Structure 1
Amino acid sequence: MHYCLSIPAVMKNYPLRVALLYFFIGAAWIFVTDWLVDQIASYARSQALQSYKGLFFVCVTAVLLYFIILGNYRRIKRKELEYRCMFKENPYPMLVYDIETLEVLTINNTFLEKYGYRKNEVVGLRITDIGPPEDELAILDFVKKVGEKGFSDSGIWRQVTKDGRSFYAKISSHPTLFGGRKARIMITMDVDEEMRAKKGLQASERKLQTLIDNSNDYIYMVDPRLCIIDANAAFKEKFRRVTGISAVSLPLDLTPMATSTGWERYYKRALAGEHLQFEEQITDQESGELELHEIVMNPIHDENGQVTGIGCFSRDITLQRKREEQIQLQVAKLKNIAWLQSHELRKSLTNIMMLASLIQEEPDKQAAIKELLPLLQQSCNELDQVVRTIVETASAVEKEA
């Protein structure tokens, strides 16, 4: 905040008006009074009258000059008091320092409240004393550069109160004279909360970026011009392997590639506000392998609901798809085992149970056993074969798992 006193328009021509008024009145006085003296007095008396006339003129003009100067002096003092009041009661901490010694010459009330000093404790204080010790060289260098220059927006600096509490402040200054000494008025604006919030946000953004970069998924953002404006490390590496581009620098125009691969239609649909999820096969140029990727495109909206870009997420699901196919084969084999258990095994057991029942019902059991034994043996062999098939199939499924 730069305070200055503006001179009213009526005051700008005031000195010229006073001088012209004095000139015309003085000239009129001289000519008129000289003519009157010549008309009413002899030469001897005219000399005396000229002296009295001149003395009277000097007295009158002296009185007029006194009141004019007194009025100007009072106006200047009033403006000075207004300026001092503006300085002392300013809601922002302010101080005046000598540009050569860096000594604090005066401060306002807000400075005392903000920095915790008493008025007598400011004597001998230098502006480097209200900054952290590690910033002293930077402060000295900056003050030297500013020197007697005009208004300076010095940026954001750390400040230290009397009790050692530090805070961030936006500092500006402009030159002035104080008691005949070249000085600067420095204004500080507390931006500590904003800076700490900003640093916290930056830290969160760094953590988020680290988390994204450590992700195995390929994450990137596309603007309405189909330019990649941000991407994680995994995407940049995969993009390099797929396209053969040695180094991926952002922003990167996707238009030619999107047109040639047919992906332009996906981007246009997403920019129209549609959420997309689809699968595409991508060839890794370095390994020559064909990969299956699952791609998700989500439109990004601003506070007005307008689409400002697309958040894209791609994931290699090649191994996942192979695993799913393997699981499906295993499920088919397990279903076959279940079918064997429910049909073939039950069939053999039913035959054995039926033959045993026939033997039990025959009066001549020896003859029945002799007659039915081959059939019983056949059913047992069939049962054994079914059990072997089940065991072999189960072993194969276990090995594949």
Structure 2
Amino acid sequence: MENMLDSITDGFYALNKNWEVTFMNRAAEQALCCTREEVMGKNLWDFFPRSREGRFYQEYERAMNERVSVHFEECYAPLGVWGSMNVYPTKDGIVVYFVDITEQKKIQEKIYNDGQNLRAIINNTRDLIWSVDRQSQIITGNQAFWDRVKKLTDKNEDEVTNADFVEERLKVFFESYERAFTDEAFSLVREREIEGKKVYEELNFNPIRDLHDVVIGVNCLVRDITESQEHLHKIEDQNKRLREIAWIQSHRVRVPVASILGLVQLCDLNDSPNAEIISKLKISAEQLDKVIMEITGLTDDLI
């Protein structure tokens, strides 16, 4: 029996009615960082004084006194070891069979923390983020998305179905799902009117693939780009006005300046009583012509 219990990879030990250890296998020695010689005949709670913390004492005592089998998971804090504990009553006391699940707990904790971090990231935005499966059923969404759903349907996360999205203006989403199911990632801009004001939204759709690279769903994101679109329209309007100014500079303003220069050339400065004035007029006209040409050169790309 001892050889068999020593050959298993999970921990095993036995206690008598005085809580003294009567047997411990090698796996239990390794998990609890002790030897059977050190612990045999010793009171478990004295040898591992902090083992009274958590659920160990409570569950062991229940198995001992009520003669029932119990199962629980607990961590022995001094060693940082998690065990999946199975306790069985025997004629002389109880036996404990446990599996070291420390690595599993670490993985579970990492998955949980990663999930919490991801939720914090996707909820820390006003963008709507959600995903759907191949049947266009919603898998998950961030808080901003569910707030929008509540506003549209007056239903909570666990109540809403595809039947609640039948409005014509939502048709674009179901059409986009089908497009993304063909393994295409794309984005588009939607313009709509809310309470008399134009609103622009950028819609992004990306396929979700499984381990075999098969598309199993779609990740979606809607971002309000009204402010940036309004800024873009403002820039376009300014560019239009600059083009008009450039055209006026190169056509309408330069023509009279050229005429002035031509007339000045016709004047005989030697015979004119205003020779000095005409000379200065010529210089000023040439300077003005040069400025106009510089402005026209700077705005050539806008015309």
Normalising by structure 2, we get a TM-score of 0.77
Which residue number corresponds to residue 300 of structure 2?
none
Distance (whole Å) between structure 2 residues aligned to residue 128 and residue 309 of structure 1: 56
- Contact 1:132–1:158, Cα closer than 8 Å, also in 2: no
Distance (whole Å) between structure 1 residues aligned to residue 28 and residue 212 of structure 2: 42
Task: Give the 3-state SS of the residue equivalent to 1:262 in structure 2.
Answer: helix
Which residue number corresponds to residue 166 of structure 1?
80
Q: Say yes or no: does 1:183 pair with 2:94.
A: yes
Distance verdict in 2 for CA 1:125–1:291, change over 3 Å: farther
| Equivalent runs, 1:51-66 vs 2, <5 Å | none
- Contact 2:55–2:74, Cα closer than 8 Å, also in 1: no
Which residue number corresponds to residue 262 of structure 1?
171
CA offsets, 1:182-204, max 9 Å, x none?
A: 322x2222222232122122112
Q: Identity over aligned residues, as a percent?
A: 21
| Equivalent runs, 1:1-400 vs 2, <5 Å | 83-98=1-16, 100-122=17-39, 123-126=41-44, 130=48, 136-146=53-63, 147-150=66-69, 152=70, 154-160=71-77, 164-177=78-91, 181-184=92-95, 186-241=96-151, 243=152, 245=154, 247-250=155-158, 252-258=160-166, 260=168, 261-263=170-172, 264-282=174-192, 284=194, 289-359=197-267, 361-366=268-273
CA offsets, 1:144-183, max 9 Å, x none?
A: 4445335x5x2432125xxx33122222343434xxx132
- Contact 1:131–1:158, Cα closer than 8 Å, also in 2: no
The CA RMSD over aligned residues, in Å, is 3.5
Partner amino acid for 1:149?
V
Task: Give the 3-state SS of the residue equivalent to 1:158 in structure 2.
Answer: strand
Distance (whole Å) between structure 2 residues aligned to residue 250 and residue 288 of structure 1: 32
| Deviation larger for 217-226 or 256-265 | 256-265
Distance verdict in 2 for CA 1:368–1:140, change over 3 Å: same
Distance verdict in 2 for CA 1:155–1:297, change over 3 Å: farther
Distance (whole Å) between structure 2 residues aligned to residue 92 and residue 267 of structure 1: 49
Distance verdict in 2 for CA 1:283–1:121, change over 3 Å: farther
Distance (whole Å) between structure 1 residues aligned to residue 245 and residue 18 of structure 2: 96
Which residue number corresponds to residue 66 of structure 1?
none
Distance verdict in 2 for CA 1:183–1:107, change over 3 Å: same
Distance (whole Å) between structure 2 residues aligned to residue 218 and residue 273 of structure 1: 22
Distance (whole Å) between structure 2 residues aligned to residue 204 and residue 131 of structure 1: 35
What is the CA distance between 1:229 and its match in structure 2?
2.2
Partner amino acid for 2:271?
D
Partner amino acid for 2:73?
I
CA offsets, 1:183-236, max 9 Å, x none?
A: 22x222222223212212211221111011001211011122322221111112
Give 5+ residue unaligned stretches, structure 1. Answer: 1-82, 391-401
Distance (whole Å) between structure 1 residues aligned to residue 138 and residue 119 of structure 2: 16
CA offsets, 1:250-302, max 9 Å, x none?
A: 47312441475423322233234333422334555xx5645222211212121
Name the structure, 1 or 2, with higher relative contact order (CA <8 Å, separation 6+).
Answer: 2
Distance (whole Å) between structure 1 residues aligned to residue 214 and residue 266 of structure 2: 85
Distance verdict in 2 for CA 1:336–1:173, change over 3 Å: same
Distance verdict in 2 for CA 1:282–1:196, change over 3 Å: farther
- Contact 2:67–2:89, Cα closer than 8 Å, also in 1: yes
Distance verdict in 2 for CA 1:113–1:240, change over 3 Å: closer
Normalising by structure 1, we get a TM-score of 0.60
